Each structure stands twice: as C-alpha cells, then as structure tokens.
Amino acid sequence: SRRVRMLKRQMKCRGDIHRLNTPLLAIYESLIPPVEERAKQKQLLALLEKLVCKEWPESRLYLYGSCANSFGVSKSDIDVCLAFNEDIHNKSEILLKLADILQSDNLQNVQALTRARVPIVKLMDPTTGISCDICINNVLAVVNTKLLRDYAKIDARLRQLAFIVKHWAKSRGVNATYQGTLSSYAYVLMCIHFLQQRSPAILPCLQGMKTTYSVTVDDVECAYFDRVEKLGNYGSSNQESVAELVWAFFNYWAYGHDYANSVISVRTGSIISKREKEWTRRIGNDRHLICIEDPFVVSHDLGRVVDKFSIRVVREEFERAADIMQYDPHPWVTLNLNLTF
C-alpha cells in the first residue's frame, strides 16, 4: 500500500538526505528579508496611519499576512487591515473613500477592488517601492497571523520548511487560489500540522493547551496558549534536519496522506475525519478534495478552492517534488529552487 511504499522510501533515503541540508538552508537564508525592508514597511504603515487617522480617528491599522506572521520572504507585498470598532455594512463606500484619500497623497496604482471575495484597495508607495493591499475589518486574519507568528517562534525549522515550501509552490505555479491551487496560508498550516505530527513532535498544539490569549471575533472564539517563550526548546528531542523534513513533507503529501478520508487540523494537532466534519459531499462550490481546516473558523476548508482538475496538478507536483528529492543529484535545481544561485 501507499504507507508501505512510503516507509520503504524513507529507509532508503535517510542515509544520504543530509547532503541536501546545506543547499536548502542557503535557499532559506537567501529568502529572508533584509532589515531595511522591515524599516520600509514600518515607514509605509506610519504614512497610512497618518492618512487614515485624519478621516477616521477611531480606526486602527494592523499588519497581517506574511509581513507580520514571519513567513514573508524578501520583496513581498504587505497586507494591511483597517479596523473599525463597529460592523461595516457598506465596505465599498469606505474603500472608495480610502482610495480617494490615498490617491490625493500621491500613492500610485491606487485601485479599489470592491467586488473581490475580500474587497480591498491596492496601492504602490513610490518612496519605499512597496505594494500594499488594504482590507476592512478582517480581524480574524490579524488573529490567525498572530497564531502563525507564535508557532514560528517555537522551532526555527518551521520557518525554514515553510519558506522552502512556499518558494517551491510559487516557482511551480501551485500557489494561486484563483487557479484552484492553495494559498500561502494553507501551505503554512500544512507545515505546522506536519511538524505537530513528527515523532517526537517538533511543534505542540497551542490550541490544545491552557488558554493565555483569547479574543472573540465575528462570534468566533480564538483562544490558545501564546506564552511560547515558556516552552523552552520544545522540539529539541527531535533532531531531524531541514532536508529530512522537506523530503518527508513532500512524501507525506505525495504518498502518505489519505485524501479520501482525512482532514488536517492544526487546531487539534491531529488528523480528523471528513465524515466527522461532513466534508464528504460537495456543497455548492465547496469541494473537499484536499482538506485543511482553518484553526479558528472550523467550518472553513482552505482546500475548498481546489477542483477536480487542479487537485491532479497539485498532487502531481507533490509527487514530482518527492521523486526529485529522492532520485535527483541536484534536487534544488530541478525543483526550481535555484533562483538565487
């Protein structure tokens, strides 16, 4: 069966996988944003705060997504949430007003996308060269950004693995939800779940521990253990290298995961069944061909964008990556991870 095949591969591979460690870590290092980039992001956020505050003194701006969850590679766009204390029923009106304000301050390429699934204003700041998307009241995204950032603090291997997986996904064209492939957010959750499942575990399940942080957003209670500095060297009894983990990650998604029955769940730190979640049938546009439970909005399957065509593409890419890691003498080149060499 698949599982046996995977174990056989695992035994064959353990021996020489370590030679990949140095090149993979070099790729990771090359993707880390330089400190000047953080400073420029802060500079842009300060400018936006000044402009927004004039119009809506009660509002607040938050960074979310990869610029704030520590999974952002160099030269990423930044995601900003404009948060109001009250519910906003007419987001379009606010977004159009916001676009006006930004335009008159010489920000470039200002565009209000009021009909998008998540309506936003896009802009480019000519001073810092940074592009930015601003959405309204997407506070759940701000909270799940904090969860991801807290997980990243526990063990350095999460950030290393996720950078390589995201970089691979972008270069292989499987990181575009509008084309039926997965979001970066989904890939990071896959990495977290994968490290929770290692034996011994490299990451704990923060939502299964004592609550030290709790907020309720849009009627969803978001609670977990966020004092991660108290965990010490949590994953240190597991000595797997990043090369082993990248290899095992692709193998898991290529040959180990039970796509027919399983849902991966960071919330529980385990695999749960599709049946339990009633994700066995297609309802409306929600297909459940690869199931990734959102840690807070548990009815939300981040795999729902994947359709019967793109699931083939995604799975074939996992298989290709696993096979290249296994057999290719220069996997990082063939996997398209060589952009920096």
Which residues partner with 121 through β-bridges?
112, 134
- What is the bridge-based pairing of β-strands 220-224 and 213-217? antiparallel
State the Cα–Cα distance between residues 110 and 252, nearest whole angstrom: 42
61-100 mask for ligand CTP (x: CB under 6 A)? ---xxx--x-xx---x--x---------------------
Residue with Cβ nearer ligand CTP (184 or 207)? 184
State the Cα–Cα distance between residues 129 and 124, nearest whole angstrom: 7
User: Smallest gap, in angstroms, from Cβ of residue 166 to ligand CTP?
Assistant: 6
Which residues partner with 270 through β-bridges?
265
Main-chain dihedrals φ then ψ at residue 110, nearest 5 degrees: -75, 130
# residues near ligand CTP by CB under 6 A:
16
Q: Which does 21 bind (CB under 5 to 8 A by kind): Mg ion, ligand CTP, none?
A: none
User: Smallest gap, in angstroms, from Cβ of residue 169 to ligand CTP?
Assistant: 9
Q: Does 65 bind Mg ion (CB under 5 A)?
A: yes
Kindly write down the DSSP assignment for every residue of 35-66, as one continuous string.
HHHHHHHHHHHHHHHHHHHHH-TT-EEEEEGG
Q: Of residues 41, 137, 184, 265, which one binds ligand CTP by CB under 6 A? A: 184
Residue nearest to Mg ion (CB): 65
Amino acid at 340: T
Q: Does 302 bind ligand CTP (CB under 6 A)?
A: yes
State the Cα–Cα distance between residues 306 and 284, nearest whole angstrom: 13
User: Smallest gap, in angstroms, from Cβ of residue 106 to ligand CTP?
Assistant: 25
Residues lying near Mg ion in the complex (CB under 5 A) are found at: 65-66, 79
Residues lying near ligand CTP in the complex (CB under 6 A) are found at: 64-66, 69, 71-72, 76, 79, 140-141, 144-145, 183-185, 302
